Amino acid sequence: MAYPKSANAEREVMQVNNVQRKPRILLAASGSVASIKFGNLYHSFAEWADVRAVATRASLHFIDRASLPKDAVLYTDEDEWTGWNKIGDSVLHIELRRWADIMVIAPLSANTLGKIAGGLCDNLLTCVVRAWDYNKPLFVAPAMNTFMWTNPFTERHLIAIDELGITLIPPVTKRLACGDYGNGAMAEPSLIFSTVRLFYESRMQQSAKNASPTAIETHPRLFNKIYAFGDSFTDTGNTRSASGPAGFGHVSDPPYGSTFFHHPTNRYSDGRLVIDFVAQSLSLPLLPPYKYLKGNDSFHGVNFAVAGSTAINHEFYVRNNLSIDNTPQSIQTQLLWFNKFLETQGCRGEETKAQCKAAFDDALFWVGEIGVNDYAYSFGSPISADTIRKLAVASVTGVLQSLLKKGAKYMVVQGLPPSGCLALSMSLASVDDRDDIGCVRSLNNQTYVHSMALQASLQSLRRQFPEAVIIYADYWNAYRTVIKNPSKYGFRERFKACCGVGEPYNFELFTVCGMSSVSSCKTPSEYINWDGVHLTEAMYKVVHDMLIEGGFTHPPFSYLLDMKRHKG
């Protein structure tokens, strides 16, 4: 079999004589019964891209070669060895790595996942992965039995491949081939194809903008309003010092707000938050907090997020003697606030369709990260992290479902950040509990698994509400990318808090930012962490840019904007 023509350079320019060539997609299948869909997947990609395929020996048991296009190019392990005879001959797995712009492994079996995570390369597929240039995208769509998917080994392996930069297209819950019902089925070929294509086209658009010295990124006012939900990372003022979370009851005092507003605004930062930058990028004013609305403040949206908020209803913590008296709000509370707000807009059900339509038309729903507080409040209790994750994801999913049923059409849902990188976590955890970037391993693993479960839930909502555009914002990987190379983004301090006291992280649990005895650093823009738990304006700006322009949303945020332009 002829090998793909080798590129002259490791990364071939996609523009030749001003004519854009097709993207080059390397599809790969491993030994899962989901390989019966490989022909369908190949056809989907072949209509758009130049496709080559790799199949493991086990996958060939399920792949019907007759289902592939007649001109399909399918490489097997035998091709790796029969095509090489002497020094100087091309090596197939190296040539495939050079040729491809993107690699997609679908299905990814538990066995092949374990091999990739461990760096093994005993067949053509794993040799390509081991030689892969991780500046180029690599997507995987796992497929395995539910008990394999929930096995602790799988969690470890997923974290390992995530650290390589591999993008997960999560499995879905359905009746499996073995007869069991549960999570572990490969995502549908149409979803895999659309995810990869949208990612590629978004990256190409961004590359074109970057190549033009006069290009300025602007988003005309496609949305007239934003409704925001979440916790202190998104709260623009629903919390005051007297009502703040335990240990952080000074948000109404300087130096909070000192960088941009030059006075406290009840935001847990020195300046603006991600949601503020989102509003500005969409040519909208900053969102007013729901609890302190005045006059026509709500014309361009409302922020329902509140610091200390949990995903699980507060009653759960009361029943288990884990309640925090001054933070009784949950995301369910925020939904109740939203419903009350709708009533003030004249939206009261079927008899007021026009008013309801006005409230939802041209609205972006932004659901900020929420769930970190649930793990924090249950820390040290008999309640397991698995229980918290299941209850929290179910609660958030229920709220999203309610908003979608009411008429939400455009929605962004943030995952959790790697909370093990916060100064609070670093100061309390054992020094032995560290990951490859120096953060608290156990907490980062916890938030990573939570975010994966949330992504799987969003896929289910997309199937239930096909007319809605639901975007996942990958806070975890965006934040982690900055931590791995802080100087690239202008940061000098990865872990130390700007505002605080104490060594080694400038944080003490009972002497916190906002107290008269605590001062802040002179240059917050050089710090990632503001007060030990929350981030600086500079970091929030970087995260915003990574989510909105940098490819850390799935599908890309540009897809949401395009759909809004086309559908209105």
Q: What are phi and psi of 107, to 5 degrees?
A: -85, 155
Cβ neighbors of 266 (< 8 A, separation 6 or more) are 235, 236, 237, 238, 239, 240, 251, 252, 256, 289
- In angstroms, the Cα distances linking 332 to 153, 414, 450 are 34, 17, 19
CATH assignment of 19-211, among 3.40.50.620, 3.40.50.11810, 1.20.1070.10, 3.40.50.1950: 3.40.50.1950
Question: 411 near 403, Cβ under 8 Å?
Answer: yes
pLDDT tens-digit profile, the chain (568 residues): 444 543 333 334 344 333 468 999 999 999 999 999 999 999 999 999 999 999 999 999 999 999 999 999 999 999 988 877 788 788 999 999 999 999 999 999 999 999 999 999 999 999 999 999 988 999 999 999 989 998 989 988 988 898 888 888 888 878 888 888 888 899 889 888 988 887 787 667 656 655 544 443 445 578 989 999 999 999 999 987 665 565 567 899 999 999 999 999 999 999 999 999 999 999 888 999 999 887 666 778 999 999 999 999 988 988 888 866 557 899 999 999 999 999 988 888 777 888 888 889 899 999 999 999 999 988 888 999 999 999 999 999 999 999 999 999 999 999 999 999 999 999 999 999 999 999 999 999 999 999 999 999 998 899 899 999 999 999 999 999 999 999 999 999 999 999 999 999 999 988 999 999 999 999 999 999 999 999 999 999 999 999 998 889 988 998 899 889 887 6
Edge to edge, the sheet with strand 50-55 lists 74-75, 50-55, 24-29, 102-108, 138-142, 167-168
85 contacts: CB under 8 Å, gap ≥ 6: none
Q: What is the pLDDT of residue 472?
A: 96
Question: What H or E segment, with its residue span, contains residue 159?
Answer: helix 152-164
Structure tokens at 10: 């490791």
Between CA 383 and CA 375 the distance in angstroms is 10
Beta bridge partners of 51: 25
Tell me, rounded to whole angstroms, the distance of Cα 425 from its chain centroid.
Answer: 21
Helix or strand (DSSP H, E) at 539: helix 537-548
Residue 494 CA to residue 506 CA, distance in Å, equals: 12
- As given in the structure block, the two tokens for residue 333 are 């509370």
Tell me the CA distances in angstroms from 52 to 46, 106, 165, 479, one per residue in order. Answer: 9, 13, 22, 34
Domain ranges of the chain: 19-211, 225-567
pTM, full prediction = 0.72
Cα 564 to Cα 201: distance, rounded to the nearest angstrom? 17
Q: Which helix (H) or strand (E) holds 149?
A: helix 146-149
pLDDT of residue 509: 87
CA angle 279, 281, 286 (to 5 degrees): 25
Closest CA to 476 of 564, 409, 554: 554
Q: How far apart are CA 200 and CA 137, in angstroms?
A: 9
Q: Which of 449, 380, 438 is nearest to 416 (CA)?
A: 449
Whole-number pLDDT of residue 248: 61
Q: Tokens for 194?
A: 């659309």
**CB-count exposure of residue 210 (10 Å: 0-12, 13-18, 19+):** exposed
SS3 readout for 467-532: CCEEEEECHHHHHHHHHHCHHHHCCCEEEEECECCCCCCCCECCECCCCCCCCECCCHHHEEECCC
Which DSSP string corresponds to 30-46? -SSGGGGGHHHHHHHHH
CATH topology (fold) of 225-567: Rossmann fold (3.40.50)
- CA of 81: how far to CAs of 84, 86, 100, in Å? 6, 11, 20
Any idea which residues carry the catalytic annotation?
232, 531, 534
- The pLDDT, as a whole number, for residue 284 is 87
DSSP class of residue 289? B
Q: Which long-range contacts (CB under 8 A, 24 or more apart) does 319-323 make?
A: 320/378, 320/381, 320/383, 322/377, 322/378, 322/381, 322/383
Alpha carbons 369 and 209: distance in angstroms, whole number: 29
Q: Is there a contact between 427 and 434 (Cβ–Cβ < 8 Å)?
A: no
Q: Quote the DSSP letter at residue 105.
A: E
Quickly tell me which residue has 């698994």 as its tokens.
449
Pairing of strands 74-75, 50-55: parallel
Instruction: Answer for the pair 149, 171: CB distance below 8 angstroms, yes or no.
Output: yes
Smallest CA-to-CA distance from 357 within 368, 349, 369 is with 349
Burial string for 121-135 (b: 16+ CB within 10 Å, else e) reads bebbbbbbbeebeee
